[in-house]
Amino acid sequence: MSKLKRGYTTGVHALIAFKSALEAFLVTREKSISITNKMDNDDLDVTRGCEIVVTVSDRLEDLELNSKPHQAYKFNALNIYAGVGVGIVTKDGLKPPRGYPAINPIPLNAIKNIYSSFNHNIEEIFVTISVTNGEELARQTANEKVGVVGGISILGTTGFVKPISSSAYLDSIKTELNFAKSNGYREVVLTLGNSSFAKAKEMYNIEQIVEIGNFVYDSIEIANSIGIKKIVFICGIGKATKVMQGYKNTHNRFGQIDFRLLQKEILREFNILVDIERVKTVRGVILGLNKDKFYKLIKDRVNNRIKLWFPTIKIDTLII
């Protein structure tokens, strides 16, 4: 198996493009544009391969800004705006403040440090960071839900994107959980899969619902670490059975349902034995049995498993 490729975050690419455009501008004293493509790596983030464009000028009218009114980040003579395809923050609870471009503090500070390393006597320098088709890319993310409109966010902490990384997904989950908490939600809803998410939307406010993929343990650990103590967990019977059996991640690569254990732990409650070798699904196990009782037994064991992992969390599971 070939080694998976690592890459750099959108923040690193924006920083590289900014340095290039700034150097060109300081030499020519004319509007300068630098374009870079996010390194093609084995990460699954929607920004993989996207085009990041940085424009530098001493005239604001030279720049094409995100049409959503916003304030620039200012550092001495430097003014950093959101260009087309980079979002504007419209709600509280995110690292970038409301009314400013969705650029995380670490890449923003790195840009300021690069700027400080140059000596010049220009009164004002105006900058846009843009992402080609960024608004379309953002529709594949949770940006709109958490209040980032008109484009994607410029992210980065370590600067690196891990291959097939859980880090980008978990960062998104943490952002949504922080957002929910900051907006007054004491209870959050974690969903696994499209059906679970659709069910959650029938019952809860969209701002308190977080899609967690297969990252059950990691997501609850994040919620616990930021002080969220009440969770509703919504999933299908197959995923629930995996959690009951101790799987912290419900992706198939981490293991399959142990039907023999399911027989031992659950079917004895019905005083019925099933030919487990012929059972291919959890639903197959419960054919002819009391479905409601079966689901409640699984639910109770899922709650107990999560309480074993996180004793201070108040958990309620809904199986659909």
- Residue 44 pLDDT level (bands cut at 50, 70, 90): very low
Asked if residue 291 has pLDDT above 70, the reply is: yes
Under the banding of pLDDT at 50, 70 and 90, the label for residue 139 is confident
What tokens does 239 get? 């995923």
**In the chain, % of residues over pLDDT 90:** 58
Residue 185, number of CB atoms within 10 A of its CB: 19
Q: Does 2 score more than 70 pLDDT?
A: no
> Distance (Å, rounded) from C-alpha 62 to C-alpha 80?
13
Query: Which pair of tokens denotes residue 153?
Result: 């966010």
Is the model more confident about 2 or about 153?
153
CA–CA separation, 40 and 166 (whole Å): 17
CATH 3.30.2110.10 positions along the chain are 7-161
Q: What is the pLDDT of residues 88-125, one digit of tens each?
A: 999 888 889 999 999 989 899 999 999 999 988 899 99
Confidence category of residue 42, pLDDT binned at 50, 70, 90: very low
Mean pLDDT, residues 73-80: 96
Which residues touch 278 (CB under 8 Å, ≥6 apart)? 284
Write out pLDDT tens, residues 221-268.
999 999 999 999 999 988 999 999 999 999 877 888 887 777 776 666
pTM, full prediction: 0.66
Which superfamily, per CATH, for 7-161?
Answer: CbiD-like (3.30.2110.10)
The per-residue pLDDT for 156 is: 57
Long-range contact set of residues 221-224: C-beta below 8 Å, sequence gap at least 24: 221/310, 222/170, 222/173, 222/174, 222/177, 223/177, 223/188, 223/190, 223/313, 224/310, 224/312, 224/313
Q: What is the mean pLDDT of residues 162-167?
A: 52
Average pLDDT, the chain: 85
Q: Cα(251)–Cα(60) distance, rounded to whole angstroms?
A: 49
Residue-wise pLDDT for 60-75, tens only, equals 999 999 999 999 999 9
Least confident piece of the model among 1-5, 38-42, 115-119, 223-227: 1-5
